[in-house]
Copies of this chain bind each other. A is one copy, B any other.
Amino acid sequence: MALIVQKYGGTSVGSVDRIQAVADRVIETVKQGHQVVVVVSAMSGETDRLLGLAKSISQSPTPRELDVLLSTGEQVTIALLSMCLSDKGQPAVSYTGGQVCIRTDNAHNKARILDIESVRVHKELEEGKVVVIAGFQGNDEAGNITTLGRGGSDTTAVAMAAALKADECRIYTDVDGVYTADPRIVEDAQRLPCITYEEMLEMASLGSKVLQIRSVEFARKYNVNLRVLSSFKEGPGTLITDEDEQMEAALISGIAHNKDEAKLTIVGVPDQPGIASQILGPIADANIEVDMIVQNVGMDNTTDFTFSVHRNDFEKAKSILENTAKSIGGKNVTGDNKIAKISVVGVGMRSHAGIASKMFKALAEEGINIQMISTSEIKVSVIVAEKYLELGVRVLHSAFGLENGALAEN
């Protein structure tokens, strides 16, 4: 007997019929001999309906009251799913975030989980009940309702699994796992049977939006076995777990991409200590997140400084940078928002030299110019012109032999 946490998103519980289907899957898991805790989101469309009501009352709704409002969405789902389970003969009980003591800080609309009391849930499980918990919400110390922000239900599920010391946390989504590349771009992309937390974090931060980054971080921190599966078709999905537990580490797990970025360059700035913070300080003050940063070795006591930001922040960052250029004596500012980032990700590359050069060679052979390079322990990212995105992903997928399954050493 295992303790399984299952999480179903808004689409999976978007109608009475789908709630019935979720109930059937839960009961199937119980019949396999497991204890089951279910975490659910609001029915799809419900959060937007509630947000619409709030917006019709106030242009900037009070954050505390917005949480009181939005948290009703999940509360409706837990009640309906519990009723449905009971109706099908499976004892079930629902809990809101506050009732199950999901304690958060008091940052309304984007709260972070601090603590979960698991006693009550364990007691219900021991009585043979399925426990249905509202995702996305908690209570702060004073008992105010808080929400974790969009995607917070994944985090609730992982935190719950950690608190309960569950054997596995299963996240049901509209994809059936994590792939070696986006299947819409690479026809023969392969589903990965397993992947490490670190790889998943890199994949997620690079635009593979299967899971919220926060939930993966949480899973890594508390060593929760996390599985991504499809709500709509059967299959083992992808297990996200510790490196040690993998049978055989792949050199490269997948090719991720991201076309939400834009790059900015300030040319001919004085090459002196502290110049980077003078350039990036005003950007950070404007709450603009910077991704890649490249500074070339300078000539004539000047240097060029390039960084990338989210495409939505491009114009704002450019105008800030133009002001900075004036004050620090830079020559001029250039920018480009028609770029794409392509990355090869894999824990195996830690111990292997030559990944980067293999990557650059493959791109060069197709005439794809590399504009920026950034590396971490388990990934190499390059910025290329946006028009090369699909070609670049396919070339790299093939160069690293991912179409033959990622587990083989290539």
The listed residue (B56, B65, B76, B79) touching A16 by CB distance below 8 A is B56
Copy number of this protein in the oligomer? 2
- A84 contacts the other chain (CB 8 A): yes
What residues of B have a CB within 8 angstroms of the CB of A96 in the complex?
A: 68, 145
Given known pairs A72-B75, A99-B143, the reply for A65 and B86 (CB within 8 Å) is yes
The answer to whether A66 and B50 touch across the interface, beta carbons within 8 angstroms, is no
Proximity string of chain A (71-96) to chain B, C-beta cutoff 8 Å, 1 when within and 0 when not: 11001101110111011000001101
- A299 contacts the other chain (CB 8 A): no
The answer to whether B58 and A86 touch across the interface, beta carbons within 8 angstroms, is yes
Task: Give the interface SS of chain A, mostly helix, strand, loop or mixed.
Answer: helix
The answer to whether A65 and B82 touch across the interface, beta carbons within 8 angstroms, is yes
The listed residue (B57, B68, B75, B76) touching A94 by CB distance below 8 A is B68
Interface size class of A (residues with CB under 8 A): 35 or more
The answer to whether A75 and B68 touch across the interface, beta carbons within 8 angstroms, is yes
What residues of B have a CB within 8 angstroms of the CB of A143 in the complex?
A: 99
Given known pairs A72-B75, A143-B99, the reply for A53 and B66 (CB within 8 Å) is no
The listed residue (B60, B68, B83, B84) touching A79 by CB distance below 8 A is B68
The answer to whether A64 and B76 touch across the interface, beta carbons within 8 angstroms, is no
Whole-angstrom distance between the Cβ of A360 and the nearest chain B Cβ: 54
Name the residue of chain B whose CB is nearest to the CB of A43.
B53
The answer to whether A62 and B76 touch across the interface, beta carbons within 8 angstroms, is no
C-alpha gap A76/B99 in the complex (Å): 18
Name the residue of chain B whose CB is nearest to the CB of A86.
B62
- 8 Å CB interface, A40-71 against B: 50, 53-54, 56-62, 64-66, 68-69, 71
Residue numbers of A with Cβ under 8 A of B are 16, 19-20, 50, 53-54, 56-62, 64-66, 68-69, 71-72, 75-76, 78-80, 82-84, 86-87, 93-94, 96, 98-99, 143-145
Some 8 contacts from A to B, beta carbons below 8 A apart, are: A16-B56, A54-B83, A58-B86, A60-B87, A65-B79, A69-B75, A69-B83, A99-B143
* New A-B pairs, 11, CB < 8 Å, besides A16-B56, A62-B82, A68-B96: A19-B57, A54-B83, A57-B83, A60-B87, A68-B79, A69-B75, A69-B76, A72-B75, A72-B76, A75-B75, A99-B144
